[in-house]
Amino acid sequence: MAISYRAGPVAVGRRLGPEEFVSVRTAHTHDPLGDWGPCGACDLGPLSFCANMGRGTVSSLARVQCTLRYDAQDTMFREGDDGTAVYVLIAGAVKVYKLMPDGRRQITGFFFRGDMFGFCLETAYAYTAETISPVLACRLPMTLLRTLSQTAPEVQHRIMLRMIGKLATFHDHVLLLGRKTARERVASFLLSLSDRACRRGEPPSPLVLPMGRADIADHIGLTVETVSRAMTRLKRDGLLDLPSPGLVVLRRPKALRGIADGLTPEAA
């Protein structure tokens, strides 16, 4: 793999790796695709922020967009940094978290291919973003909202849709953290990953977990040990298989859903 990784908080790749991100083309390339078409800087297709967007708008975005490459465990931005851009993940996985002074950590979200994060506007980032695996991301400066608000209200509108979606997931996650048992949390978490895989057009079941148990624990408000025990128990109860720590086969998704929603008594 002849990929040149660059050190730095925002390693910018001029060229892309050959296999991993095959159909990615150079940013700023504009094919003559007619009135509707992609920007060319990513291969997200229908998941793209620009999917089915007016060509004029797309080229405005393409002009300010840049495609960034990160290694695993890179910090993309830190809590308190000036919020200057939103990111759309093209490949890889990202976690965002907040830390307490004594080291307690809460992962407030995971992001995958097609996801947008880093919403900000005249504000600092409220959390730190760190890559879990090597990442390719499209960076959109938020100043573009001012610039494009007149000519392309579509852009604001789409970002708003993403924010509303994120708000809805927060409501769900707050319910999970405030009121669900360990078993229910793990079931809910796995199902939410599965649902998101489906929305990306991937199969719901052989589920790949790019994050470790510690990250899962810090996301759903448990300890590593409790996450592990809950998983083992779900496996023992025939609800899922764990061929390897990073792979989950959902064997009885509906029963899992029942547990996630608190319909199944804990003893079962």
- Footprint of DNA on this chain (CB under 7 A)? 181-183, 212-214, 221-229, 231-232, 242, 244-246, 266
5 touching a copy of itself, by CB under 8 A: no
Classify strands 247-250 and 207-208 as parallel, antiparallel or unpaired.
antiparallel
236 touching a copy of itself, by CB under 8 A: no
Q: Determine the angle formed by the axes of helices 224-236 and 213-220, rounding to 10 degrees.
A: 100
The residues in 198-227 that bind a copy of itself, with binding defined as CB under 8 A, are 218-221
- Least separation in angstroms between residue 96's CB and DNA is 19
Closest by alpha carbon to 206, among 219, 188, 224, 193?
193
Render the burial of 203-223: b for 16+ CB within 10 Å, e for the rest: eeeebebbbebebbbbbbbbe
- Least separation in angstroms between residue 259's CB and a copy of itself is 12
Element (H, E) at 89: strand 85-91
- Cα(87)–Cα(162) distance, integer angstroms: 12
Q: Kindly indicate which of the ranges 20-28, 32-40, 98-106, 238-246 contains the residues binding a copy of itself, using the contact rule CB under 8 A.
A: 98-106
Per CB under 8 A, the list member of 84, 108, 133, 192 interacting with a copy of itself is: 108
The residues in 113-132 that bind a copy of itself, with binding defined as CB under 8 A, are 119-123, 126-127
Q: How far is CA 111 from CA 95, 126, 129, 176, in A?
A: 6, 16, 10, 18
- Least separation in angstroms between residue 111's CB and a copy of itself is 14
**Residue 171 contact among a copy of itself, DNA, none, beta carbon within 5 to 8 Å by kind:** a copy of itself
- Least separation in angstroms between residue 174's CB and a copy of itself is 5
- Least separation in angstroms between residue 107's CB and DNA is 13
- State whether the Cα torsion 106-109-111-116 is positive or negative: negative
Amino acid at position 136, single letter = L
Close Cβ partners of 96 (under 8 Å, ≥ 6 residues apart): 107, 108, 109, 111, 117, 127, 128, 129, 130
157 touching a copy of itself, by CB under 8 A: yes
- Least separation in angstroms between residue 94's CB and DNA is 17
- Least separation in angstroms between residue 18's CB and DNA is 18
- Cα(210)–Cα(218) distance, integer angstroms: 14
The site map against a copy of itself for 159-188 (x = CB under 8 A) is xxx-xxxxxx-xxxxxx-xxxx--------
Helix (H, G, I), strand (E, B) or coil at 243: strand
**Which CB sits closer to DNA, 214 or 249?**
214
- Which stretches of 114-169 are assigned E, i.e. beta strand? 116-117, 128-131, 135-141
**Which CB sits closer to a copy of itself, 3 or 148?**
148
- Point out which residues bind a copy of itself (CB under 8 A): 98, 100-102, 104-106, 108, 119-123, 126-127, 145, 149-150, 153-154, 156-157, 159-161, 163-168, 170-175, 177-180, 218-221, 261-263
